[in-house]
Amino acid sequence: MEKILEVKDLHVHFSTYGGIVQAVRGVSFHLYKGETLAIVGESGCGKSVTSNAIMKLIPSPPGRLVRGKIQFHDKQLTELSEKEMRSIRGVDISMIFQDPMTALNPTLTIGTQLMEGLKQHKKISSLEAREKALEMLELVGIPNPDERLKQYPHQFSGGMRQRIVIAIALICEPELLIADEPTTALDVTIQAQILELFEKIQRETGVSIILITHDLGVVAKVADRVAVMYAGKLIEEGDKREIFYHPQHPYTKGLLKSVPRLDATEAELTPIDGTPPDLFSPPKGCPFAPRCPMAMEVCLRKYPKTKSLTTTHKVDCWLQDKRAKKLLASSSRK
């Protein structure tokens, strides 16, 4: 399979009055053509910052891409100028935002907002742009597109607006779509519809999707592969089955246990105790160690190396070390 995106050792810092926040601390992952990669993790773990960094949309100042490479096909996005980046945004890489209620400009018609990206990037007549816009509205399932084109965002419901946001993101036929919590602001029935729309779009256009979410239900539905982030690090990565059925990192395990299940026998959920570390001065060792039920002394001292379990499954955890396995084996024998 062809890799269309490769992120290597990405570091993003934010300067604030309180000091420097190390929001993303060495994240690496890649994306194949036509697949959906879900990036999961709790609030503040750096998911959105990572996705904004790919688009180079991190406000600077205070944000700064300190280190790392983002390769899109054969282009190094980190080395491109703002102007060159503009010819990629919306055309090759598009983005969908969390809250459809605020993502659309209240003073412009849906038609204008749909077509402006198209007009910006492609030499196209107004009539053709209109045709394309109608086609997109049809694709995302908006009835009476002809009439709807002339309407303003406040005349649409939340779910409809998210469909329009998706249509705007897809109108220039991008290869990569970054969806930052696209269903979080919607109610559950609408969520399901939007997720189905994602699947349909991927089937019809072959777009690759990076799905940022904290909702494991969403991940289970649409993702091919899953990357789990914690405190600015990518701690476990694997295909969907590996993550859901054979999670290796104690954080991933904890995350899965904290989700309600319909088939569970115990009624109570198991939350992960404690809170994520302060990213002003992130710990030297594994950031999860203070909350980890399996933590060893080494976990607090040194960050573990990435260990590949299968060709797809990777995890950053000392428990994967041979010595830790021996230790565990001996302690369980006693």
Partner 1 sequence: MLRYILKRFLTMIVTIWIIVTITFVLMISIPGSPLNEERGTSESVQRNLESYYNLDQPYHIQYILYLKSIVTLDFGPSIKQPNQTVNDLLGQGFPISFELGMVTILVALLSGVTLGIIAALKHNGFIDYMAMSVAVLGISIPNFVLSTLLIQQLAVNLNLLPPATWASPLHMVLPVAALATGPMAIIARLTRSTMLEVLTQDYIKMARAKGLSPWKIVIKHALKNALMPVITIIGTLLAGILTGTFVIEKIFAIPGMGRYFVESINQRDYPVIMGTTVFYSVFLVVMLFLVDIIYGLLDPRIKLHKKEGE
Q: How far is the CB of 45 from partner 1 (least distance, A)?
A: 20
Structural contact between residues 114 and 167, judged by C-beta atoms closer than 8 angstroms: yes
Q: How far is the CB of 171 from partner 1 (least distance, A)?
A: 9
Structural contact between residues 288 and 235, judged by C-beta atoms closer than 8 angstroms: yes
Task: Give me the half-sphere count of Cα atoms (radius 13 Å) on the Cβ side of residue 259.
Answer: 18
Q: Which is nearer to partner 1, 36 or 98 (CB)?
A: 98
Residues in the chain: 334
Residue 82: partners with Cβ closer than 8 Å, 6 or more residues away: 56
Q: How far is the CB of 56 from partner 1 (least distance, A)?
A: 10
Q: How far is the CB of 59 from partner 1 (least distance, A)?
A: 9
Task: State the Cα–Cα distance between residues 326 and 240, nearest whole angstrom.
Answer: 28
Element (H, E) at 306: strand 306-308
Q: How far is the CB of 154 from partner 1 (least distance, A)?
A: 5
Q: Which is nearer to partner 1, 116 or 321 (CB)?
A: 116
Q: Which is nearer to partner 1, 69 or 121 (CB)?
A: 121
CA 6 to chain centroid, in Å, comes to 14
Main-chain phi, psi angles of 70, to 5 degrees = -125, 110
Q: Which is nearer to partner 1, 116 or 173 (CB)?
A: 116
How do beta strands 19-32 and 306-308 pair? unpaired
Q: How far is the CB of 62 from partner 1 (least distance, A)?
A: 11
Q: How far is the CB of 89 from partner 1 (least distance, A)?
A: 4
Q: Which is nearer to partner 1, 51 or 320 (CB)?
A: 51
Q: Which is nearer to partner 1, 99 or 215 (CB)?
A: 99
Task: State the Cα–Cα distance between residues 209 and 213, nearest whole angstrom.
Answer: 12
Q: Which is nearer to partner 1, 11 or 121 (CB)?
A: 121
Query: What residue type is 243 in one-letter code?
Result: I
Structural contact between residues 56 and 77, judged by C-beta atoms closer than 8 angstroms: yes
Interface residues with partner 1 (CB under 8 A)? Answer: 55, 57, 85-91, 94-95, 97-99, 102-109, 116-117, 120-121, 152, 154, 165, 168-169
Structural contact between residues 287 and 276, judged by C-beta atoms closer than 8 angstroms: yes
